[in-house]
Amino acid sequence: MLDRRALIAMILTSPVMPMAARASTPAIVATTGMIADLARRITGAEVQAIFGPGVDPHGHRPTRTDILALSRGDLILHNGLNLEAQLTDLLTDMATQTRVLAVAESIDPGLLLNDPAYAGFPDPHVWMDPTLWSTAAQAIAAALSDMGYPGDLAANTQALLDDLAALDNYARTAIASIPEPARVLITAHDAFNYLGRAYGLEVQGIQGISTESEAGVARMQELVTLIRDRQVPAVFVESSVTDRSVRALIEGAAGAGMIVATGGELFSDAMGPEGSYEGTYLGMMDHNITTIAAALGGDVPGRGMSGKLAM
Ligand SMILES: [Zn+2]
């Protein structure tokens, strides 16, 4: 079997589609759905995301199909900040002959948080703060404009930025409506720290909890104590992460005589089903914010900021 580097080299050097045969509109390919959605809004064109709904970008290893899809892009958009950890070599190789933009790396490093999972590295989950994500949107718009991408990029970008500002406003009001002690977000992995910082939610990730390890038992007790002291009514599962640790925590709390509910499923590192409102960045975040606020005792409209949620 070919090793991955050899496969990449083979695909990159094979004449899949000669430059001259390409359509005049540059092709855009993105890694995550959240990035593809920004590019869709800015261009008004379809943009392929190689990570579909439910895919974990931290661990996903590039397939031959992914490599082919990326190799067809005139502009490759990825998150960066080591989110797509398994794609680093591939993207570095591709950057020698194609425009590659790490959208999250356009954000002022002073605004980044540290990754709780990897000391010394920035937390890559910047899309969880709509204000930071609007910086990423502007970086994409600038790259497209540089390439001479056709269409009304400026008007489309402004409409997108207006939506992101409305989302930010909604999130602020929704989270502020949660009774102060219950403003604690307990989820499977550490994806929500930017959301927490932006809107005043304490965030606790429980990934790695195992009832067999001593560290796991200690962490579990810490979280059960937090749930009791703050009267936290719910904890949350994520669409792209196993719910094992969340179930273990709910059982642990039950063992200590506390009933804590599953507050619902959040979209952390991937969006909802393609073609649905939740399958857009705006819809994904509306879903998350509305689900969190409703489950923690806040006052939010049942179908979210614009009445479009499927809940
Ligand atoms: Zn993540």
CB-CB neighbours of 30 under 10 Å: 28
**pLDDT of 265 above 50:** yes
* More confidently predicted of 165 and 212: 165
What pLDDT, on a 0 to 100 scale, did the predictor assign at position 243? 84
Expressed in angstroms and rounded, the spacing between residue 226 Cα and the centre of ligand 1 is 23
Residue pLDDT, tens place only, 43-92: 999 999 999 888 889 989 999 999 999 999 999 999 999 999 999 999 99
List residues bridging with 184 in a β-sheet. 202
> From the CA of 126, how far away is ligand 1's center (Å)?
10
Rounded to the nearest angstrom, the distance between the alpha carbon of 254 and the centre of ligand 1 is 28
Q: How far does the centroid of ligand 1 lie from the alpha carbon of residue 147, in Å?
A: 31
Instruction: Output the CA 245–ligand 1 centroid distance in Å.
Output: 15
pLDDT above 70 coverage of the chain, percent: 90
Give the model's pLDDT for residue 299: 98
Whole-number Å distance between alpha carbons of 311 and 307: 10
Domains and CATH numbers, the chain: 4-152 (3.40.50.1980), 170-295 (3.40.50.1980)
pLDDT for 18 beyond 50 = no
Decide if pLDDT at 42 tops 90. yes
User: Ligand 1: distance of its center to the CA of 185 in Å?
Assistant: 15
- Could you tell me the distance, in angstroms and rounded to a whole number, from the CA of residue 68 to the centre of ligand 1? 25
241 C-alpha to center of ligand 1: Å?
A: 9
State the pLDDT at residue 207: 74
pLDDT of residue 21: 45
Give residue 117 CA to ligand 1 midpoint distance, Å.
Answer: 10
Query: 261 forms bridges with which residues in the sheet?
Result: 234
> Measured in angstroms, how far is the CA atom of residue 284 from the centroid of ligand 1?
15
Quote the CA–CA distance of 175 and 34 in Å, as a whole number: 22
Residue 268 CA, ligand 1 centroid: distance in Å: 7
Distance between Cα 246 and ligand 1 center (Å):
16
pLDDT digits (tens, 9 = 90+) for 114-140: 987 778 899 999 999 999 999 999 999
DSSP characters over 202-216: EEEE-TT--TTSHHH
Provide the pLDDT for residue 216: 77
In the predicted model, is pLDDT for residue 238 greater than 90? no
Structure confidence by residue, pLDDT tens digits, 175-227 = 999 999 999 999 988 899 999 999 999 999 887 555 556 667 888 899 999 99
Quick one: average pLDDT of 10-21?
52
**According to the model, what pLDDT value does residue 40 have?**
98
Q: How many CB atoms lie within 10 A of CB 73?
A: 20
Task: Give strand pairing partners of 101.
Answer: 77
Cα 188 to averaged position of ligand 1 atoms, centre (Å): 10
Distance 17 CA to ligand 1 centre (A): 34
192 CA distance to ligand 1 centroid (A)? 9
Q: What is the mean pLDDT of residues 91-107?
A: 97
How many A from CA of 152 to the centre of ligand 1? 33
> What radius of gyration do the chain's Cα atoms show?
21
Residues with Cβ within 8 Å of residue 5, at least 6 apart in sequence: 89
The Å distance, Cα 55 to ligand 1 centre, comes to 10
Tokens of residue 77, six digits: 């958009």
Average per-residue pLDDT for the chain: 90
Q: Is the dihedral of CA 130, 286, 289, 104 positive or negative?
A: negative
Name the H helices within the chain: 4-13, 33-43, 64-71, 88-94, 130-146, 153-176, 193-199, 214-230, 244-255, 281-295
Decide if pLDDT at 109 tops 50.
Answer: yes
Ligand 1: centre distance to CA 23 (Å): 35
The answer, yes or no, to whether residue 296 has pLDDT greater than 70, is yes
**Res 119: pLDDT:** 82
Distance of CA 58 from the midpoint of ligand 1 (Å): 6
Determine the distance separating the centroid of ligand 1 and the alpha carbon of 190, expressed in angstroms.
6
Looking at residue 19, its pLDDT comes to: 46
| Token pair for 209 | 């909890």
The average pLDDT across 244-260 equals: 91
